[in-house]
A = this chain, B = another copy of it.
Amino acid sequence: MARKKVKLAFIKNDVSRKATYKKRKKGLMKKLSELSILCGVEICAIVSSPYDIEPDVWPSAVGVRRTLARFQSMPESDQSKNMVNQENYLSKRIQKVEEQLEKLRKENRDKEMREIMYRCLVGEKLVIKNMSSVDLYDFGRFLETNSMEIRNKIYALKKMRIYSSSNNTSKPN
């Protein structure tokens, strides 16, 4: 699903088949994890491939057997309260770290916008011309939400320039 659309058929090329397998297995495991965490459902999966001698199992041999047991309609229940706790604990940590990440990303974006602003003030007219459309869009939004602050800033800067240029002969060269 990228760069090129692939046909839904066995990939003949050994190298790319293996590469695809590894990438997609990873993605699949992530999806399994997300579904079980988001919705609190019991899932198991087994992937037997020629690339790994042993099959990959989700979430664990025990979990698989447990879910299998239910599948075969034989009641057998909770032995892994412990695991659920760990799961909760770890997903909370992920959540926390991802929140930090998100915050930092926002800050980062803001700093970028500030840099662009200053570069404009400094006279780099090309800055905006060379921005990608996505960045331009963001910059527009940034300007909207910060217009007051920026106007004040620009005003202050102009005053400073006027002051400094009337002090020393600012005649270009």
Contact = CB atoms under 8 A, between A and B. Distances in A.
Contacts of A87: 83, 86-87, 90
Counted per complex, copies of this chain come to 2
A36 to B, nearest CB: 8
B54 A49 contact: no
A42 interface: yes
A21 B41 contact: yes
Nearest to A35: B24
B89 A61 contact: no
A55 B37 contact: no
A85 interface: yes
A119 interface: yes
Nearest to A32: B28
Which interface class (under 10, 10 to 19, 20 to 34, 35 or more) fits A? 35 or more
B9 A92 contact: yes
A47 B64 CA distance: 11
Sorted nearest first, the 3 A-B pairs with minimum C-beta distance are A118-B118, A111-B111, A90-B90
Interface stretch (A97-105, A131-139, A141-149): A97-105
A173 B160 CA distance: 12
A166 interface: yes
A87 to B, nearest CB: 5
Interface string A109-120: 001101100110
B81 A54 contact: yes
A92 B7 CA distance: 10
Contacts of A63: 85
